[in-house]
Amino acid sequence: MVLISSHIRNLSDAELVARYKETGENICVGELFQRYVHLVFGVCMKYLKDEDKAKDLQSHIFERLLSDLLKHEVANFKGWLFSVARNHCLMHLRSAKNVLNHQKELKKDLKPDMESGFDLHHNPVLEKEIQLSKLESGISQLNEGQRICVDLFYMKEKSYREIVDITGYTLNDVKSYIQNGKRNLKLFMEK
């Protein structure tokens, strides 16, 4: 049975979540979105302090709700959504920080004449985007072991021991993959 939009507005958050899990009707999540769009936007603004980024992340959070609601038991939707939004913002900030730290680490390994060329560009934001794109391309060209270990170590901040547990590689393999991956990325970035 398809819900009528006037009827849907009368359902509680819990009823909407239950109905969505039962039927998969996106209109249920759409109603929840209408109710809490301001809450999620406020959380995103608190952490990101940039309206455009906050709107992008807000949209991404609500897109993820379509799958996340099916996976989790949600007793208090508003509280759960607040936690999801906060965690998503923190993960976004950590990811951005990791990328910048990784770029700084790779940049210090570049030749001095390349560094000065990097610093002289007129648009540092554009240059960072180009470097990030090149870095992502370089990572995608690493062999599987290097790519996995570099991603876990630098981007997800996992320790050697955690990488061993996640991948099943030996400790020596993990160290080797990270060292060789970093060297290969440096060579790729210098091209």
- Please measure the distance between the N-terminal and C-terminal CA atoms of the chain and give it in whole angstroms: 59
Q: Are 177 and 188 in contact (CB under 8 A)?
A: no
- The mean predicted confidence, pLDDT, of the chain is 81
Whether 112 has a pLDDT exceeding 80, the answer reads no
**Cα 123 from chain centroid?**
25
Confidence (pLDDT) at 101: 59
Residue 6: pLDDT over 90: no
Would you say 58 and 86 are in contact if contact means Cβ atoms under 8 Å apart?
no
How far, rounded to the nearest angstrom, does the alpha carbon of residue 160 sit from its chain's CA centroid? 22
Residue pair 32/13 in contact (Cβ under 8 Å)? The answer is yes
Pick left, alpha or beta for residue 49 (phi over 0 → left; psi -120 to 50 → alpha; otherwise beta): left
User: Which DSSP symbol is given to 1?
Assistant: -
Mean pLDDT of 108-115: 51
Q: Report, in angstroms and rounded to the nearest whole number, the Rg of the chain calculated over CA atoms.
A: 22
* pLDDT single digits (tens) 73-103: 888 999 899 988 888 888 888 776 656 655 6
User: Can you give the pTM of this predicted structure?
Assistant: 0.49
Is residue 40 classed as helix, strand or coil in its secondary structure?
helix
Set out the domains of the chain in order of their start, with CATH numbers: 5-93 (1.10.1740.10), 110-190 (1.10.10.10)
Give the model's confidence band at 3: pLDDT under 50 very low, under 70 low, under 90 confident, else very high: very low
What digits encode the pLDDT tens for the residues 25-39? Answer: 889 998 998 999 999
pLDDT at 123: 57
